[in-house]
Amino acid sequence: RFPKEKAAEIAVAQVKKFLEQDSTIKRVVFNVFTSADESIYRRLLG
């Protein structure tokens, strides 16, 4: 299994990179399955 922390880091970094190039996107939703996953994303996006 791929580590959740690393997966979230990659996802957030790639979304931020994309948003630097495309300013038409107004909202991004990260769908997570557990409260632990949510905590990881909240920390990374905080």
What pLDDT sits at residue 27? Answer: 93
What pLDDT sits at residue 22? Answer: 83
Is a pLDDT exceeding 90 seen at residue 43? yes
pTM of the complete model: 0.86
What pLDDT sits at residue 23? Answer: 82
Q: From 40, 46, 39, 33, select the one nearest 9 (Cα to Cα).
A: 40
- Alpha helix (H) ranges present in the chain? 4-21, 35-45
Position 25: which residue type? I
Q: What is the mean pLDDT of the chain?
A: 95
Higher pLDDT among residues 23 and 24, named by residue = 24
